[in-house]
Amino acid sequence: MPSYDFICLDCRKRFEVSLSYSEYDSAVIRCQHCGSSNIRRKIGRIRIARNASDRMQSLADPTRLNSIDDDPQALGAMMRQMRSELGEEMPAEFDEVVDRLDHGQSPEQIDSAMPDLADNFSEGAGNSSVADDLDF
């Protein structure tokens, strides 16, 4: 039975629930810490990002990669291209990050505006920069 990570939007704690696929659609998930149903599923963004960056290495233009660090719009465009190349469903946060990059926000600004995202991106990676964790 697959298990899913959730985060409670009320107490900000994480918990894990094991559900069959049929249960997943109908189950009412409640926070195991405070009982709130104001919860959100967490998706393994690191896994998605690593998987994506592996495949991007054959797609990416190295000259564009060099400017990514200083150019949020270029990073946003690349992430969007990455998603269309992969044809995989990305979490809602992915869209928000791309959106913010489009508006010229740096990965650092996005990190501080989306603390939950930063928390995820930094898992096991030792820093919280979106660009660094994407391994560009």
**Sites of contact with Zn ion (CB under 5 A):** 8, 10-11, 31, 33-34, 36
Query: CB–CB of 55/85 below 8 Å?
Result: yes
Q: Which two tokens stand for residue 102?
A: 């489009």
Do 46 and 120 form a contact (C-beta atoms < 8 A)?
A: yes
**Gyration radius of the chain over CA positions:** 16
d(CA 6, CA 13): 8
Nearer to Zn ion (CB atom), residue 8 or residue 82: 8
In the block, residue with structure tokens 């894990």: 16
Query: Shortest approach of Zn ion to residue 33 CB, angstroms?
Result: 4
The nearest distance, CB 15 to Zn ion, in angstroms, is: 8
Shortest spacing between CB 13 and Zn ion, in angstroms = 5
Closer by beta carbon to Zn ion, 15 or else 64: 15
Positive or negative, the CA dihedral 42, 82, 57, 72 is: negative
Query: Smaller CB distance to Zn ion: residue 34 or 113?
Result: 34
Residue 67, class by beta-carbon neighbours within 10 Å (0-12 exposed, 13-18 middle, 19+ buried)?
A: exposed
* C-beta closer to Zn ion: residue 9 or 59: 9
User: Taking the complex as a whole, how short is the minimal distance between the CB of residue 9 and Zn ion, in angstroms?
Assistant: 8
Question: Of 10 and 85, which CB lies nearer to Zn ion in the complex structure?
Answer: 10
Kindly state the smallest distance separating residue 70's Cβ from Zn ion, in Å: 40
Six-digit token pair at 60?
């990416």
